[in-house]
Amino acid sequence: MKTLVTGGVRSGKSTAAERLLADAGQVTYIATGPRSDDPDWAERIAAHRSRRPSHWSTVETSDLPGALARLEGPGLVDCLGTWLTATLDDLEVWEAPQPHWEPTLAQRLQDVVEAWAECPHELVAVTNEVGWGVVPEHRSGRIFADWLGRLNQQVAASSDRVLLVVAGQVLAVKQP
């Protein structure tokens, strides 16, 4: 079973995703967020760590396809949005002309989608829902929203189930 859990910031999507694997035994938590000395970011990471069962293992990486390929059991990816941010940073997208990075970024998204589809284990991925508001004023916001929207669509198409979390309430968008 592959499940994509989407929702807005602080919607409860990570908690909902963790509950889906609560009875799965040994789970590998794939943390894709960037390392940062930002106190707010550190607080968010600490809150996530404190909720996870102690017997779950954690892999902190931006090599999401590699982490999915190495899984030996159920996995939880948190989150596709932070993976995309790290990838955009790695490609120096924010100031580079589009033709330079777009083919590489498209390939990296495809690599994630293929690794997701080919993984033989139960998977849950968390992502941010984007695009329900105005088109972002700044180029960086438009790039992020456009590419995460594409990634979300592709992962959802390769998933058995898609759940939307709104104010802590889980709504089934796609069921097996």
Which residues are known to be catalytic?
A: 48
CA dist 101 and 77 (Å) reads 25
Distance (Å) of CA 135 to CA 33, 46, 89, 131: 24, 32, 21, 7
CA dist 137 and 153 (Å) reads 23
Look at residues 108, 14, 117 and name the one whose alpha carbon lies nearest to residue 64.
Answer: 108
CB burial of 125-147 (b: ≥16 within 10 Å; e: otherwise) equals bbbbbbeeeeeeeeeeeebbbeb
CA angle at 83 for the pair 80 and 88, rounded to the nearest 5°: 125
